[in-house]
Amino acid sequence: MLLETRALTASYGQFRALFGVDITVAAGECVAIIGANGAGKSTLMRSITGVIRNEPGMVLHRGEPIGALSSAEVMKRGIAMVPEGRKLFPSLTVEENLLIGGQMRKVPGPWNLDAVYELFPILRERRNNSGTALSGGQQQMVAIGRALMSNPELLLCDEISLGLAPVVIRDIYAALPKVRAGGAAIVVVEQDIGKALAVADRVYCMMEGRVTLTAKAADVSRQQIHAAYFGEAA
């Protein structure tokens, strides 16, 4: 298994955010994690990427424990993150933002500056702009491109549609199949159920720090999701 969490728990001080979460992601797979605000999705991402450190065995990469590694160590194993809120570096230009994504992990793969510019042509025009001078959608493209620059095995996308106009969301989601074609597995964390189901093979629904539904994206019914998402009887 490419990535696995086993009975993953996490807390902020006294407040417990995750209560034993088990998810798996196979190589090349696209998995959606959906849930309302505060369901624990972002905490799950932060735990996987080492922003929150856990016990080693709670997160496994190809069967090896990585739960206690730092963000940098996790990233160097090929798990790249598109953080919630884009988080571009304001002191860096667009191109520098892209370059920094790949400079600490240099492995052969489909992604480089040219490939990213081909995926998002507008970025080539804006390459010398400050990252923060871009529109929200363009910033999101930079954030995705930045993560791709390391040629990851697994791309984690945290709320990439948040705050964007529908037409922009469509453009960004259109890029994900191309990312998969490059061989990377993808995890999309979303509040937008429709978008998530459209791209994913499988879906996990979370509520109050627990996984409440695991299903194939093609089979799942609206009622099932509704129940898992809001905790109401189907």
Partner 1 sequence: MWLDTLVQGILLGGLYALFAAGLSLVFGIMRLVNLAHGDLIVFAAYLVLIGVTLFGLSPWLAALLAMPVMFAFGWLLQTAVLNRVLGKDILPPLLVTFGLSVVLQNGLLEGFSADSRRIPAGSLEGASLDLGLVTVGVMPLLTFASAIAAIVALNALFYHTALGRAFRATSDDVVTAGLMGIEPKRIFAIATGIAMVVVTLAALYLGMRANFDPSIGPARLIYAFEAVIIGGLGSLWGTLAGGVIIGVAQTFGAAVNPEWQILAGHIAFLAVMLLKPRGLFPRAVD
Which residues sit at the interface with partner 1, rule CB under 8 A? 49-51, 70-72, 75-76, 80-81, 83, 87, 89-92, 96, 99-101, 103-105, 146, 150
Shortest separation between residue 98's beta carbon and partner 1, angstroms: 11
Place of tokens 């996790």: 74
Shortest separation between residue 73's beta carbon and partner 1, angstroms: 8
Residue 33, both tokens: 């994690």
Smaller CB separation from partner 1, 69 or 205: 69
Q: How far is CA 169 from the centre of its chain?
A: 15
Pairing state of beta strands 64-65 and 59-61?
A: antiparallel
Shortest separation between residue 147's beta carbon and partner 1, angstroms: 8
Shortest separation between residue 186's beta carbon and partner 1, angstroms: 16
Smaller CB separation from partner 1, 157 or 228: 157
Smaller CB separation from partner 1, 105 or 180: 105
Cα separation, 68 vs 51, whole angstroms:
10
Smaller CB separation from partner 1, 103 or 221: 103
Question: Nearest-5° angle of CA 221, CA 158, CA 145?
Answer: 120
Smaller CB separation from partner 1, 40 or 78: 78
Please state, in angstroms and as integers, the Cα–Cα distance from residue 117 to each residue in 4, 98, 125, 138, following that order. 32, 10, 9, 12
Smaller CB separation from partner 1, 3 or 80: 80
Place of tokens 């998402």: 229
Shortest separation between residue 105's beta carbon and partner 1, angstroms: 5
Shortest separation between residue 142's beta carbon and partner 1, angstroms: 12
Nearest Cα residue to 62 out of 119, 128, 4: 4
Buried-state track 83-93, b at ≥16 Cβ within 10 A, e below 16: bbebebeeebb
